[in-house]
């Protein structure tokens, strides 16, 4: 059983309910991935999903589960970046009553709940090193104990891990265990960015248009010139960004504002510089001569802004987690967010979308 956040399967307006997820990924770049998914689904091997944020790693993970003999059991997901270490351990392995302050009753973790099914560990690179040791142990022995407990519990779970980080660099920096890396990386699937499989864009636009029209009770069309502009854009946020763009069009009832935003972004060109080079370039204005000291100060501030934004995006704007990763206090981070003028894109969504999403979650 897959826990799905939207009811495509039950929606009478969707005439092709099977055309979703990987079924939409018809490009030549995705064909080898579809083949690999079909091959690994039947086995119990651990799979490591890699690729930029929003490319559809979770969609691939769900497809593996759906095609596997475990399809009738649960598919569960844990985002390792969303919880601090102690809570993440309890989320994964459960806890006994009284294990820590607030543990009023015994609670099984996701490893127990997903018994017979599949568990997706998202943002695996963010897992604290101590927990990585416990995870490795579980993968090797198939047994674990709940937090605060001694009894060994066995669980038959197929593990899929996902990350958009450079795990090899994390390993070299001693932030990711080498033995766990090799244990997880039995089969690696690299999901390419959307800009490398542009032929999927019209199909995805149509899929999202129909889905959001049905969800919001609209009949919005997307003009051919908007589809053309979408085909040219570089989509740094990949399919998630495309999905949100179509959602905004449907909610606003017009493609114009989103179309114009994309045209403006195309005129600026894709970001090809590294964040640091861009940060330095942003501070140097050939028309205004300033001291080298001032350039250094401005570049440092800009680099800080870029780094904070990247970390916040990576942890889905979980500010407590971001503060820990950046090794500054929560209060200092809040101050810097305001100082740098950073805005969570999700908070800018139209109210109608936010309300519906709250209801759907």
> Any contact of residue 53 with ligand ATP (CB under 6 A)?
yes
Q: Which residues pair with 161 in a beta bridge?
A: 48, 121
Distance between CA atoms of residues 201 and 25, nearest Å: 9
- Residue 158, SS3 per DSSP: strand
Minimum distance between the CB of residue 158 and ligand ATP, rounded to whole angstroms? 17
Which of 51, 70, 204, 170 minimizes the C-alpha distance to 122? 51
Contact stretch for ligand ATP (CB under 6 A) within 17-25, 40-48, 225-233, 327-335: 17-25
Distance between CA atoms of residues 323 and 300, nearest Å: 18
Minimum distance between the CB of residue 57 and Mg ion, rounded to whole angstroms? 5
Minimum distance between the CB of residue 96 and ligand ATP, rounded to whole angstroms? 31
User: Which of the listed partners (ligand ATP, Mg ion, none) does 302 bind, with a CB threshold of 5 to 8 Å by partner kind?
Assistant: none
Helix intervals (H) in 194-346: 201-216, 224-232, 238-252, 256-268, 275-283, 292-314, 319-326, 330-339
Minimum distance between the CB of residue 50 and Mg ion, rounded to whole angstroms? 11
Place of tokens 């908070």: 347
Q: Which residues pair with 95 in a beta bridge?
A: 107, 147
> Any contact of residue 25 with ligand ATP (CB under 6 A)?
yes
User: Which of the listed partners (ligand ATP, Mg ion, none) does 164 bind, with a CB threshold of 5 to 8 Å by partner kind?
Assistant: ligand ATP
Q: Which residues contact residue 129 at a Cβ distance below 8 angstroms, ignoring those fewer than 6 apart? A: 174, 175, 176, 177
Of positions 96, 122, 126, 302, contacts ligand ATP by CB under 6 A: 122
> Any contact of residue 2 with ligand ATP (CB under 6 A)?
no
User: Which of the listed partners (ligand ATP, Mg ion, none) does 40 bind, with a CB threshold of 5 to 8 Å by partner kind?
Assistant: none
Of positions 58, 89, 91, 302, contacts Mg ion by CB under 5 A: 58
Beta strands in 72-221 (DSSP E): 75-79, 118-122, 143-144, 153-154, 158-163, 187-190
218, with CB counted inside 10 A (0-12, 13-18, 19+), is middle
Kindly state the number of chain residues that form the binding site for ligand ATP, as judged by CB under 6 A: 20
- Residue 72, SS3 per DSSP: coil
What mask of x and - would describe binding to ligand ATP in positions 298 to 337, judged by CB under 6 A? ----------------------------------------
Of positions 8, 37, 40, 54, contacts ligand ATP by CB under 6 A: 54
Of positions 20, 91, 122, 126, contacts Mg ion by CB under 5 A: 122
> Any contact of residue 177 with ligand ATP (CB under 6 A)?
no
Distance between CA atoms of residues 63 and 82, nearest Å: 23
Of positions 132, 155, 164, 215, contacts ligand ATP by CB under 6 A: 164
> Any contact of residue 56 with ligand ATP (CB under 6 A)?
yes
Site residues (vs Mg ion, CB under 5 A): 58, 122
Site residues (vs ligand ATP, CB under 6 A): 20-22, 24-25, 51, 53-59, 122, 162, 164, 207, 239-240, 243
């Amino acid at each position: 059983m897959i826990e799905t956040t939207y009811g495509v399967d039950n929606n009478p307006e969707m005439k092709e309910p099977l055309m979703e997820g990987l079924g939409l990924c018809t490009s030549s770049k995705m064909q080898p991935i579809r083949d690999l998914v079909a091959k690994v689904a039947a086995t119990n091997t651990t799979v490591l999903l890699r690729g930029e944020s929003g490319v559809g790693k979770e969609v691939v993970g769900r497809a593996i589960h759906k095609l596997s003999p475990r399809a009738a059991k649960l598919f569960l997901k844990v985002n390792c970046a969303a919880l601090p270490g102690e809570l993440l351990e309890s989320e994964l392995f459960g806890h006994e009553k009284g294990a820590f302050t607030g543990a009023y009753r015994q609670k099984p973790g996701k490893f127990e709940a997903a018994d017979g099914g599949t568990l997706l560990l998202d943002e695996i690179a963010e897992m604290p090193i101590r927990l990585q040791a416990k995870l490795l142990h579980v993968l090797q022995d198939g047994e674990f104990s709940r937090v605060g407990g001694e009894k060994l519990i066995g669980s038959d779970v197929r593990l899929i891990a996902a990350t958009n980080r450079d795990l090899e660099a994390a390993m070299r920096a001693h932030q990711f265990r080498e033995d766990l890396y090799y244990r997880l990386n039995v089969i690696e699937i690299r999901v390419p960015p959307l800009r490398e499989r542009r032929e999927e864009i019209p199909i995805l636009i149509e899929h999202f248009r129909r889905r959001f029209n049905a969800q919001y009770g609209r009949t919005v069309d997307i003009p051919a010139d908007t589809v053309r502009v979408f085909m040219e854009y570089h989509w740094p946020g990949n399919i998630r960004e495309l999905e949100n763009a179509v959602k905004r069009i449907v909610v606003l009832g017009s493609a114009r504002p989103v179309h114009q935003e994309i045209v403006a972004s195309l005129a600026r060109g894709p970001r090809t510089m590294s964040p640091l080079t861009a940060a330095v370039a942003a501070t140097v204005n050939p028309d205004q001569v300033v001291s080298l000291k001032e350039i250094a100060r401005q570049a440092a501030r800009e680099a800080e802004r870029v780094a904070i934004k990247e970390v916040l995006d990576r942890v889905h704007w979980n500010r407590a987690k971001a503060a820990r990763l950046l090794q500054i206090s929560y209060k200092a981070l809040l101050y810097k967010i305001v100082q740098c003028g950073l805005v969570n894109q999700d908070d800018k969504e139209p109210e109608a979308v936010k309300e519906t999403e709250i209801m759907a979650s």
